[in-house]
């Protein structure tokens, strides 16, 4: 199985203009199932999705500003003025520690300046983030015979959906079920996300070393 893991501040999936899924800070996982994949690939991929450390040590999902287009609800302040998109984007995360002198001296990485703490220390469970899985058969496309994608290595139909559903079930069992969302298998989806970093990790269970 192949997966593209993207650290996001928010994401949505629509089908025919209808909202199917929406998440805040967490991971968008594009999942590609190949013709040679079996149930044996599910546990290793599930572990990679849940355990890969993409966030800084001080980060929590609740401290990350969510772009307005991905916010489930807009809360209006007591003065009646709704927050502007610019204000939402500029809102600093709670608990983020900045050290201007150290940053100016080059003692901290850029990610430490922005988010605080050492980078690559927390996984999606530790920040209490969400996961949006999207089936993506094109991850197994090949261009060895020209410029037209060849999808013969992509598993399709009911067999692929069975493995995909088992992966979702395992993720929901090992994490918080309500925080694991899904797209629409086999449908033409419109996927929108804001990649945070950007951070994009490629995972292939067929690669052992």
Catalytic positions, written as ranges: 136-138
Alpha helices per DSSP H over 10-156: 42-51, 85-90, 100-104, 110-115
Distance CA 59, CA 56 (A): 6
Distance CA 161, CA 140 (A): 15
Q: Can you read off the two tokens belonging to residue 83? A: 């927050």
Backbone angles phi, psi at 87, to 5 degrees: -65, -40
CA proximity to 37, closest of 145, 140, 142, 170: 140
């Amino acid at each position: 199985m192949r997966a593209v893991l993207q650290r996001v501040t928010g994401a949505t999936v629509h089908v025919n203009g209808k909202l199917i899924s929406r998440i805040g800070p967490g991971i968008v996982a594009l999942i590609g199932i190949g013709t040679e994949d079996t149930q044996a690939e599910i546990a290793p991929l599930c572990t990679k999705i849940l355990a890969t450390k993409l966030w800084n040590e001080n980060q929590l999902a609740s401290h990350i500003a969510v772009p307005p287009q991905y916010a489930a609800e807009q809360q209006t302040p007591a003065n009646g003025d709704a927050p502007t998109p610019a204000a939402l984007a500029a809102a600093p995360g709670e608990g983020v520690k900045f050290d201007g002198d150290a940053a100016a001296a080059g003692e901290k990485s850029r990610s430490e300046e922005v988010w605080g703490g050492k980078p690559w220390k927390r996984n999606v469970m530790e920040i209490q983030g969400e996961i949006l899985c999207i089936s993506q058969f094109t991850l197994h496309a090949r261009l060895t015979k020209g410029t037209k994608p060849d999808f013969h290595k992509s598993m399709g139909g009911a067999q692929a959906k069975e493995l995909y559903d088992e992966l979702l079930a395992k993720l929901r069992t090992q994490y918080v079920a309500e925080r694991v969302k899904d797209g629409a298998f086999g449908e033409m989806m419109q996927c929108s996300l804001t990649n945070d970093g950007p951070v994009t990790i490629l995972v292939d269970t067929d690669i052992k070393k």
